[in-house]
């Protein structure tokens, strides 16, 4: 019986930057005597959101949700129209949009000069809204169509014939299997289509490390927010092994029955989504260690 940590755990660099900037946002607002905001939930982790709320970082979605202050753009980014709404309303913005997503927005601007823009993304996901809401350098709206599933292809194919040049960009944390399927369908229809970005390498590497580890071990616990796409994808990739995979948000979700099921498979792999803080991972490992000592030590 053992507990094995995956080699890639904790925040990705985009989320780490958002956490650092959230602290800067609070300091800046305090210096200016203004309120501090996060535009949308800071990251997909309720513990962290609560901690920052207690420090004074209020979550708002539009400028009219609060008084003029200092507002943080989180790693997912926001649409250019929303960015303008905030600056027009007198907010000072601190930008922690992940560089991977900023690069995709640049690609959209460049490719929109000669191609139809298709955004492959989960509907209403913040990153999808950010990509679909990209404007040109001089502020003109860029028309794009969002594809979230196969059913969205019908309206796209009805609007644009196969001869239209197309650029299809993707939300970085879109489900990998569905991305491959949609890529195939789009590539089979449009004769001139480019896919200039892809799924986030930080997520791909994290998933590969966990899958490899689970192949040599018995079961896995995945720690991450319930709304986190990359956490859901990680759990899905691990479940493809047919082994026991439990998805939890924090140590409170680990009851005795769950831990018994995990340890029945002898070695438990611990892995996490990109928004899971180290202290939550440590608390989960401690709880597993304690359960192991209390229930199995005599058998070892
Ligand atoms: S998951 Fe990837 S794209 Fe998203 S914030 Fe992290 S590094 Fe950036």
Tens of pLDDT, residues 257-290: 999 999 987 899 999 999 999 999 999 999 999 9
- Residue 22 pLDDT: 98
List the residue whose alpha carbon is closest to atom 2 of ligand 1: 200
146 pLDDT higher than 80: yes
Give me the domains of the chain, ranges plus CATH numbers.
Answer: 2-11+201-299 (3.40.1010.20), 13-97 (3.40.50.11270), 100-194 (3.40.1010.20)
Distance from C-alpha of 175 to C-alpha of 170, rounded to nearest angstrom = 10
For residue 119, what are the β-bridge partners? 146, 169
278 membership: H or E segment, kind and range: helix 278-296
SS3 198: coil
Residue 44 has pLDDT above 80, yes or no: yes
- pLDDT for 253 equals 96
- The Å distance, Cα 14 to ligand 1 centre, comes to 5
- Report pLDDT for 265: 76
The model's pTM is: 0.90
CA of 284 to the centre of ligand 1 (A): 23
- Ligand 1 centroid, distance to 202 Cα (angstroms): 7
Where do runs of H (alpha helix) occur along 1-79? 13-32, 46-55
Per-residue pLDDT averaged across 218-246, rounded?
Answer: 95
Using the mean position of ligand 1's atoms as its centre, give its distance from the Cα of residue 100 in Å: 7
On average, the pLDDT of the chain sits at 95
Q: How far is the CA of 98 from the centre of ligand 1 (A)?
A: 6
- What is residue 32's three-state secondary structure? helix
Q: What is the pLDDT of residue 300?
A: 45
pLDDT at 216: 92
CA of 88 to the centre of ligand 1 (A): 28
Which residue owns the Cα nearest ligand 1 atom 8?
14
Q: What is the distance, to the nearest Å, from the Cα of residue 33 to the centroid of all Cα atoms in its chain?
A: 32
Query: What confidence category does residue 298 fall into, taking pLDDT thresholds of 50, 70 and 90?
Result: low
Provide residues with CB under 6 Å of ligand 1: 12-15, 75, 98, 100-101, 172-173, 200, 202-203, 230, 274
Q: Whose CA is nearest to atom 5 of ligand 1?
A: 14
User: What is residue 283's predicted lDDT score, i.e. its pLDDT?
Assistant: 97
Rounded to an integer, the average pLDDT of 149-178 is 97
Distance CA 248, CA 277 (A): 13
Q: Are 112 and 131 in contact (CB under 8 A)?
A: no
CB 19 within 8 A of CB 11: yes
Q: Which of 43, 105, 173 to mutate to test the pocket of ligand 1 (most atoms within 8 A of CB)?
A: 173
Tell whether the model's pLDDT for residue 299 goes beyond 60.
no
Confidence of residue 236 (pLDDT cuts 50, 70, 90): very high
Alpha-carbon gap, residue 238 to 103, rounded angstroms = 29
Shortest-distance atom of ligand 1 to CA 99? 8
Instruction: Please identify which residue in the block is written with the tokens 């926001």.
Output: 78
Both structure tokens of 174: 């879109």
CA–CA distance, 58 with 81 (Å, rounded to integer): 21
Contacts of 263 (CB under 8 A, 6+ apart): 1, 219, 291, 292, 295, 296
List the beta bridge partners of residue 94.
72
């Amino acid at each position: 019986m053992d507990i094995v940590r995956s080699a890639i755990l904790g925040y990705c660099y985009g989320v780490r930057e958002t956490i650092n900037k959230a602290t800067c946002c609070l300091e800046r607002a305090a210096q200016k005597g203004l309120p501090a905001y996060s535009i949308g939930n800071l990251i997909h982790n309720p513990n962290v959101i609560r901690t920052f709320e207690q420090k004074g970082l209020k979550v708002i979605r539009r400028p009219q949700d609060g008084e003029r202050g200092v507002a943080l753009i989180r790693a997912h980014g926001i649409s250019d129209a929303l960015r303008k709404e905030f600056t027009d309303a007198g907010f000072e913005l601190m930008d922690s949009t992940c560089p991977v997503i900023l690069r995709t927005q640049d690609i959209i601007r460049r490719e929109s000069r000669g191609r139809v823009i298709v955004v492959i993304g989960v509907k209403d996901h913040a990153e999808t809204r950010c990509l679909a809401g990209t404007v040109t350098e001089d502020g003109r709206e860029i028309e794009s169509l969002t594809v979230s599933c196969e059913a969205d292809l019908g309206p796209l194919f009805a609007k644009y014939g196969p001869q239209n040049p197309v650029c299809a960009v993707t939300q970085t944390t879109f489900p990998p299997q569905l991305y491959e399927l949609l890529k195939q369908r789009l590539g089979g229809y449009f004769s001139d289509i480019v896919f200039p970005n892809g799924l986030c390498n930080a997520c791909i590497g994290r998933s590969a490390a966990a899958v490899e580890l689970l192949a040599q071990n018995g079961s896995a616990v995945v720690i991450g927010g319930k709304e986190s796409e990359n956490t859901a994808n990680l759990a899905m990739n691990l479940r493809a092994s047919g082994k026991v995979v439990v998805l939890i948000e924090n140590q409170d979700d680990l009851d005795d029955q769950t831990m018994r099921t995990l340890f029945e498979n002898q070695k438990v792999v611990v892995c996490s989504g990109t928004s899971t803080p180290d202290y939550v991972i440590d608390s989960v490992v401690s709880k597993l260690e304690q359960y192991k000592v209390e229930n199995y030590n005599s058998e070892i």
